[in-house]
């Protein structure tokens, strides 16, 4: 598990009150207790943690086209933005 | 119970510096959303808003007075000047006139608050200019209005976020209807284009980066606006007796709370408020010809509001017209309800239904007649104006030409 993966899963676990070790890339977000406010807060925490900017627009997500289905979707998006914004 | 006439209107919005400018903008379907110019953009992602552009306070207020006036108070005073002049009321000379003053605002003197925080926390200022408190308080605008016009009746400010002005108009309407007041100055004012406020709005992730497209499939959220709207409400018989201009009538008022989520709207709350407004004036759903929607352009509001209209109006929902003028003048928050009530009254006067601007393609879940893009020349006489605010506070007024 990479650092990014571990950190993102930790944030998701904290927000959804799941046991930290029980989440993985495959975890489907719909199985966790997260509402739309939780998602926005998680994005904020991820941005703070990695000092990146994620262009998440809640209106587009509600349209289900940019919706995150699995934890892996979020991890990949974070990785992409870190690469773009931090040149890592 | 008295009938309540509207005998004066005043408006400051992105569409212009008076109510005629608003009316003309609506008739043209002109979108006044553009690049932000009144605030520094370096730390912001958002680039657009519906500002009151090219506004020079010094043209309207002397230097000494400006020390006391936040931008939101300035807008409120200007709108009140227009409305009072139109009505012809003069509280100072009409000793028998019992007139109230009820204004709505979401956050009041935000520009002053923002500047003051910068001074004390960033610049370590040792002292403040003496009148910061009375300048930033949410009630500042209505206080100044009572002072400028000699209004001595009940006066205060109503706050319910994006429904503030709508609620204020409702309260003022009830005062005149019940006979507690002969007349009431009412409406709302808001101006929050500061870097801090915009950053906070960005954090909610519901601001559109492109424009405001209520009910469109590709809508991306709301666009902030600013301004003020003031209406003079008056006892109908009294207004007629003195030959006042009758610019319309407030028929009824309905309110509800969602008791749901702090930001997500509830279907039940919206339905309840619209039904309450209809019941308050004894109208049937079929009597409504047009609805000025809350229509912010967010994913959730537009769908919820559409469903609520279906539920309240049944088959008639597809016969009436619904449009969101926020697509043209932005979301003026605590002033929205007033600007939109004025927009509706002027649209009824002009016989032109305002369009929902920037409309591309309908969201499949939004299937009503939203008067897309083109203003519609069609006389109409009875309308509802909706405000469904953050925190689930809902307010609906019924208006007649």
**Ranges of H-type helices in B137-247:** 140-149, 164-178, 195-203, 236-241
Q: Which of A37, A53, A59 sits opposite B221 (nearest CB)?
A: A59
Query: Tell me: the pLDDT tens digits for B229-274?
Result: 999 999 999 999 999 999 999 999 999 999 988 888 899 999 999 9
Chain B residues whose C-beta sits inside 8 Å of any chain A C-beta:
45, 203-206, 208-209, 217, 219-221, 261-264, 297-300
Q: How far apart are CA A66 and CA B46, in angstroms?
A: 20
Interchain contact, A37 vs B298, CB within 8 Å: no
Determine the distance from the C-alpha atom of residue B286 to the mean position of all C-alpha atoms in its chain, rounded to a whole number.
Answer: 25
Of residues B117, B9, B114, B112, the one with CA closest to residue B57? B112
Query: Tell me: the pLDDT tens digits for B62-120?
Result: 999 999 999 999 999 999 999 999 999 999 999 899 999 999 999 999 999 999 999 99
Q: Is the ipTM of this complex over 0.95?
A: no
Distances, alpha carbon B299 to alpha carbons B199, B208, B260, B304, B364, in Å:
21, 11, 17, 9, 12
pLDDT at B35: 97
Of residues A63, A75, A60, the one with CA closest to residue A29? A75
Cβ–Cβ contact A43 with B under 8 A: yes
Task: Using an 8 Å CB-CB cutoff, list chain A residues near B298.
Answer: 58-59
pLDDT average, residue stretch B162-182: 98
**End-to-end CA, chain B:** 20
Q: How far apart are CA B251 and CA B340, in angstroms?
A: 16
Query: Tell me: the pLDDT tens digits for A21-57?
Result: 899 999 998 888 888 788 888 889 999 999 998 888 8
Which residue of A lies nearest to B217 if distances are taken between CA atoms? A63
**Residues pairing with B386 in the sheet:** B396
Which pair of structure tokens corresponds to residue B187?
């409406």
Interchain contact, B203 vs A58, CB within 8 Å: no
Of residues B199, B201, B190, the one with CA closest to residue B40? B199
Residue B35 neighbours by CB distance under 10 Å: 10
Which of A59, A68, A81 best probes binding to B when mutated, by most B CB atoms within 10 angstroms? A59
pLDDT at A1: 63
> H or E segment at B281?
helix B267-281
A61: pLDDT strictly greater than 80: no
| Total beta-carbon pairs less than 8 A apart between chain A and chain B | 38
Average pLDDT, chain B: 97
Query: Of the ranges A45-54, B28-37, B362-371, B379-388, which one carries the lowest mean pLDDT score?
Result: A45-54
Query: Tell me: the pLDDT tens digits for B291-345?
Result: 999 999 999 999 999 999 999 999 999 999 999 999 999 999 999 999 999 999 9
Q: How far apart are CA B42 and CA B195, in angstroms?
A: 9
Distances, alpha carbon B363 to alpha carbons B217, B218, B287, B291, in Å:
4, 8, 27, 18
Query: pLDDT exceeding 90 applies to what percent of chain B?
Result: 96
Cβ–Cβ contact A67 with B under 8 A: no
Neighbouring residues of A24: CB distance < 8 A, sequence distance ≥ 6: A9, A71
Torsion region of B392: left, alpha or beta (phi above 0 gives left; psi -120 to 50 gives alpha):
left
Q: How far apart are CA A63 and CA B208, in angstroms?
A: 14
Which pair of structure tokens corresponds to residue B214?
């209520």
Task: Using an 8 Å CB-CB cutoff, list chain A residues near B208.
Answer: 57, 59
Cβ–Cβ contact A26 with B under 8 A: no
Q: Which of A40, A44, A63 sits opposite B299 (nearest CB)?
A: A63
Q: How far apart are CA A21 and CA A17, in angstroms?
A: 12
Query: Of the ranges B43-47, B69-73, B176-180, B321-325, which one carries the lowest mean pLDDT score?
Result: B43-47
């Amino acid at each position: 598990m990479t650092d990014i993966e571990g950190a993102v899963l930790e944030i998701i676990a904290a927000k959804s009150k799941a046991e930290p070790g029980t989440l993985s890339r495959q975890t489907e977000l719909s199985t966790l207790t997260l509402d739309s406010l939780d998602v926005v807060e998680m994005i904020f925490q991820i941005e703070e943690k990695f000092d990146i900017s994620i262009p998440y627009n809640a209106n587009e997500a509600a349209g289900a086209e940019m919706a995150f289905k699995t934890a892996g979707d979020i991890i990949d998006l974070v990785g992409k933005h870190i690469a773009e914004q931090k040149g890592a | 119970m008295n009938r309540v006439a509207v005998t004066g209107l005043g408006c400051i919005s992105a569409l212009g510096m008076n109510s005629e400018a608003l009316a003309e903008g609506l008739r043209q379907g002109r979108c006044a959303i553009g690049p932000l110019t009144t605030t520094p953009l370096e730390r912001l992602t958002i680039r657009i808003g519906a500002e009151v552009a090219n506004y020079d306070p010094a043209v309207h207020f002397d230097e000494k007075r400006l020390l006391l006036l936040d931008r939101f108070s300035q807008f409120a005073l200007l709108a009140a000047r227009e409305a009072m002049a139109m009505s012809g009321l003069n509280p100072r000379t009409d000793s028998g006139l019992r007139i109230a003053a009820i204004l709505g605002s979401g956050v009041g003197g935000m520009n002053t608050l923002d500047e003051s925080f910068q001074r004390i926390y960033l610049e370590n200022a040792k002292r403040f200019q003496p009148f910061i408190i009375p300048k930033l308080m949410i009630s500042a605008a209505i206080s100044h209005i009572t002072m400028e016009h000699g209004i001595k009746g009940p006066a205060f400010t109503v706050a319910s976020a994006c429904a503030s002005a709508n609620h204020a108009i409702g309260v003022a309407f009830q005062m005149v209807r019940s006979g507690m007041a002969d007349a009431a100055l009412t409406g709302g004012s808001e101006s929050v284009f500061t870097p801090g406020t915009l950053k906070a709005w960005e954090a909610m992730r519901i601001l559109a980066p492109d424009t405001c497209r209520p009910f469109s499939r590709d809508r991306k959220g709301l666009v902030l606006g600013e301004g003020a709207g003031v209406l003079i409400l008056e006892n109908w018989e009294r207004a007629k007796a003195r030959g006042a201009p009758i610019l319309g009538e407030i028929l009824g008022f309905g309110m509800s709370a969602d008791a749901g989520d702090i930001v997500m709207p509830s279907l039940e709350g919206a339905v309840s408020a619209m039904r309450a407004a209809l019941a308050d004036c004894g109208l049937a759903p079929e009597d409504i010809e047009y609805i000025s929607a809350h229509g912010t352009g967010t994913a959730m509001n537009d769908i919820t509001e559409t469903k609520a209209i279906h539920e309240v109006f049944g088959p008639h929902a597809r016969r009436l017209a619904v449009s969101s003028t926020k697509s043209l003048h932005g979301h003026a928050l605590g002033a929205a309800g007033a600007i939109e009530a004025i927009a509706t009254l002027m649209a009824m006067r002009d016989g032109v239904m305002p369009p929902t601007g920037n409309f591309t393609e309908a969201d499949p879940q939004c299937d009503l007649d939203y008067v897309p893009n083109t203003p519609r020349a069609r006389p109409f006489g009875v309308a509802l104006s909706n405000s469904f605010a953050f925190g689930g506070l809902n307010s609906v007024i019924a208006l007649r030409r």
